[in-house]
């Protein structure tokens, strides 16, 4: 940015030499240039000096009133409620090619946990990977460091490791990817039962 001539500046940034050349090419042959509709570009951004936007006191007051009305109208009821019960949904269950690896399949599951919930301790006949989407969940794994799952982070539960998931004040939503032993139940519970979720 220069202190003298403010021509050629948009939002306090200089127009590059390439943009200047494009504008000149458009003006020279507007009907044959693929960007002929953009000839206003030169007039607005190169030929006209930059003008600082100014707001009067009355305009500023009106803006503040409208923004305040919007905030007053907002309530927590406008935001989605956290889930009230556990949701486990298998999105994909696909066998892997025997040529690649025999007797294995991929299971992709979507999980929503409400606040203040702990899943039954269980293990899987496979490797488990998590991608955390919303909220916060603690994955407690026997003999391993707990995982605190927050949005954008990932977690890993080793083969046949007993584990559980616990939420606190927040709900949690995450995706689970498993490389699973084909033909086996999805989940083995600590009490000896099994589950396909």
Q: Which residue has the higher pLDDT, 167 or 24?
A: 167
pLDDT beyond 50 at 128: yes
Query: How many whole angstroms separate alpha carbon 81 and alpha carbon 115?
Result: 11
pLDDT score of 192 = 85
| Residue 97 DSSP code | P
Long-range contacts, stretch 62-65, CB < 8 angstroms, 24+ apart: none
Please give the pLDDT value at position 81: 75
Radius of gyration (C-alpha) of the chain in whole angstroms: 29
Q: Residue 79 has which token pair?
A: 């935001």
pLDDT over 70 percentage in the chain = 59
Q: What is the pLDDT of residue 83?
A: 77
**pLDDT tens digits for range 32-89:** 554 444 444 444 444 444 555 555 666 666 666 655 555 555 555 556 677 788 998 9
DSSP codes of every residue in 171-191: -EEEEEEEEEETTS-SEEETT
Domain boundaries, the chain: 9-77, 87-195
* CATH superfamily placement of domain 87-195: Jelly Rolls (2.60.120.10)
**Cβ atoms of 124 and 194 closer than 8 Å:** no
Could you give the 3-state DSSP secondary structure of residue 87?
Answer: strand
Position with higher pLDDT, 25 vs 168: 168
User: How far is residue 165 from each of residues 68, 109, 123, 171, 173, measured CA to CA in Å?
Assistant: 41, 15, 12, 11, 12
What residues are paired with 149 via a beta bridge?
Answer: 137
- If DSSP codes are grouped into helix, strand and coil, which group holds residue 196? coil
- pLDDT value of position 8: 44
Is the pLDDT confidence value at 169 over 70? yes
Q: What is the pLDDT of residue 6?
A: 46
Can you name the residues that pair with 93 across neighbouring β-strands?
Answer: 107
Report if pTM > 0.75. Answer: no
């Amino acid at each position: 940015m220069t202190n003298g001539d403010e021509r050629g500046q948009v939002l306090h940034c200089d127009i590059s030499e390439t943009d200047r050349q494009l504008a000149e090419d458009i003006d020279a042959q507007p009907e044959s240039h693929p960007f002929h509709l953009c000839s206003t570009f030169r007039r607005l951004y190169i030929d006209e000096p930059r003008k600082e936007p100014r707001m009067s006191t009355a305009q500023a007051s009106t803006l503040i009133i409208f923004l305040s009305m919007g905030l007053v109208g907002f309530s927590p009821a406008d935001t989605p409620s956290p889930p009230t019960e556990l949701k486990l949904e298998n999105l994909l269950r696909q066998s892997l090619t025997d040529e690649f690896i025999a007797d294995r399949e991929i299971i992709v599951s979507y999980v929503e946990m409400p606040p203040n919930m702990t899943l039954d301790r269980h293990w899987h006949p496979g490797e488990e990977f998590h991608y955390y989407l919303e909220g916060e969940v603690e994955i407690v794994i026997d003999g391993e460091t707990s995982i605190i799952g927050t949005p954008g982070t990932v977690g890993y539960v080793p083969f046949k490791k007993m584990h559980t998931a616990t939420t606190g004040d927040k709900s949690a939503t995450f995706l689970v990817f498993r490389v699973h032993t084909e033909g086996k139940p999805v989940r083995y519970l600590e009490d000896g039962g099994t589950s396909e979720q």
